[in-house]
């Protein structure tokens, strides 16, 4: 277990129960095709299970974390770059991604939030589309729900 999870919202906002809508907002997944990096703990896993029909999630590798960091934006200042990593005392985004994977990612995520970085990454729909229906669980030849390491391949197609 890496200590981090990546969640991607698959479906829109029409017909959502207010509790589900609030949980998606707390996870920083306000629109379809938004992705976020979250700590892997029981509280967040419970939130993920609650909104399972609308999202997919799994454990990221270093390349996935790096791709998402490059897609994140600084409020009013464009994309995330090496200068933000320098403010955190690191040399580059690659080092930041490595630290997120190896050490306690939750404290670094909080530091990123203090640097006015949006807590989500806007992604494209997957290239060549989804393989199956987004209305069925991943384990039953669908797209939503827990997918483990397969999240890396999906995000690679969405970046």
Per residue in 19-55, pLDDT (tens digit) is: 999 999 999 999 999 999 999 889 999 999 999 999 9
Of residues 104 and 38, the one with the higher pLDDT is 38
32 and 109 belong to one structural domain: no
* Confidence (pLDDT) at 104: 65
Q: Is residue 153 part of a domain?
A: no
The number of folded domains in the chain is 2
Q: What is the pLDDT, as a whole number, of residue 95?
A: 87
81 and 109: one domain? yes
* HSE-up of residue 69 (Cα within 13 Å, Cβ side): 26
| Residues 57 and 67 placed together within one structural domain of the fold | no
Helix (H) or strand (E) holding 98: helix 93-102
Q: Are 5 and 152 in contact (CB under 8 A)?
A: no
Residue 2's pLDDT is what? Answer: 46
Q: Which domain holds residue 137?
A: 4-61+123-147
């Amino acid at each position: 277990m890496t200590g981090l999870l990546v969640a991607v919202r698959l479906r829109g906002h029409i017909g959502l129960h207010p509790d589900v809508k609030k949980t998606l907002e707390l996870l920083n997944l306000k629109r379809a095709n938004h992705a976020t990096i979250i700590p892997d703990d029981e509280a967040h896993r419970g939130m993920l299970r609650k909104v399972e029909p609308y999202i997919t999630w799994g454990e990221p590798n270093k390349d996935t974390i790096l791709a998402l960091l490059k897609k994140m934006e600084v409020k009013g200042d464009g994309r995330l770059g090496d200068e933000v990593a320098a403010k955190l005392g690191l040399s580059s985004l690659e080092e930041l991604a490595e630290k997120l994977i190896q050490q306690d990612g939750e404290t670094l995520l909080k530091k990123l939030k203090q640097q006015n970085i949006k807590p989500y990454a806007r992604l494209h729909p997957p290239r060549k589309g989804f393989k199956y229906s987004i209305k069925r669980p991943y384990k039953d030849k669908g797209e939503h729900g827990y997918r483990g390491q397969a999240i890396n391949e999906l995000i690679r197609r969405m970046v």
